[in-house]
Structure 1
Amino acid sequence: MYVNDCHSNSGSCVVPSLGRFSFQPLKENPLLGPSSSTLEKMGALDVNRVVHKHQSWRLISCIWLHAGVFHLLANMLSLLFIGIRLEQEFGFLRIGLVYVISGFGGSLLSALFIQAGISVGASGALFGLLGGMLSELITNWTIYANKFAALLTLLCIIVVNLAVGILPHVDNFAHIGGFLSGFFLGFRIVNSPPV
């Protein structure tokens, strides 16, 4: 938001009392965040820049950016409910690997299918954790006491998060790419508790 500096660019900022930390007008960014140009400047996934300007670092940097406060809160809540449980069960290193590699996988699929506009967010990485949870559930199916409740809960979380893909700067291709990456990584990395 410091880089965005809405206050100096226009007089129609949301919460103008925040000065340079004011949010872009809601008609431009309904998620309470910066402008698209600021996101692009900070490292959003822009296929044109990745392909033609050789800025492949954007495939990773976009994972750490968010379109606004609401987008960040949604991702943090998902991480709180999913990530903490997985990290406690399988350890920081395993879950960190699934998270980052799935985020990259989500960015790759997004870059293949989204040819115009920008994309930001950790949703691909979060979907990777969901994919890892599904592969862990499949692998350890026999140890779950209430198998169908666990599967139904996981499917509900996936459906709700896919619905978030209709918001600006968030795309379901990143979700699907992250989910598939996490699902396949899960069979190798998240298959049993750490020794």
Structure 2
Amino acid sequence: MSAADLLPRNATDLERGLADVLSRQPAVPLGIQRDPYQAPAEMLPWLAAHHGVRLWFDDWTEARKRDIIAHHAGVHPGYPGERLGEMVGTRLGLERYLDYVDASILHALAYPAPFVIGDHSVGSRRVNQGAFTADYLVSVTLTEPAQSFAVGASAVGDAALAPPSSEPVNRALAAARAAKSAATVVGCYFDKRIALTSGDAPSTADAPLTGQFKDRLELSA
């Protein structure tokens, strides 16, 4: 007997149809449907929306999709009890979100920043640094396109001048937006290299050539 059989005789066809559908046993048990690591792959987008996942890319691996859902649900085995959605607006939350797009924080300056010799500061606050803002130097990995231009190498066609894809940068920005609360302002710097100066030369004999660079490891004042 289905729920439709219990309806009064004057029940409409719509009511009988709904009762019949709602009384059926689901093909996949509800407990499995809600488990990020057991749910069928086609249900993952629904499960992500159910748990309020803020960062999602369709071309992610299935394992990564399951992990971020589990992280929002508080059942990620690597972060027991940690709910990613509750960490929005924190530095740790940003670190977690960036990790899902293969990016990381190299350095951060947050208000109120402490006085540092050489920085233009007044008291404990850096000059021109907005109240309650945080600046993050974020590292992403760019991949040179096939047949990209290289000094000394021959190249033909437009592919020779193609720059690295900006997709890793765009995804890191998406992660930063997902990690920030409505009341938070975040400035992200995606420039890991800075020009060498004379002060960077280890010795006169080993002075760097003009145009050489070094890795940027921290934000400047």
Q: TM-score range by the shorter chain?
A: 0.3 to 0.5
TM-score (norm 1): 0.33
Say which structure is richer in strand. 2
TM-score (norm 2): 0.30
Higher RCO structure (Cα 8 Å, ≥6 apart):
1
Larger Rg: 2
Say which structure is richer in helix. 1
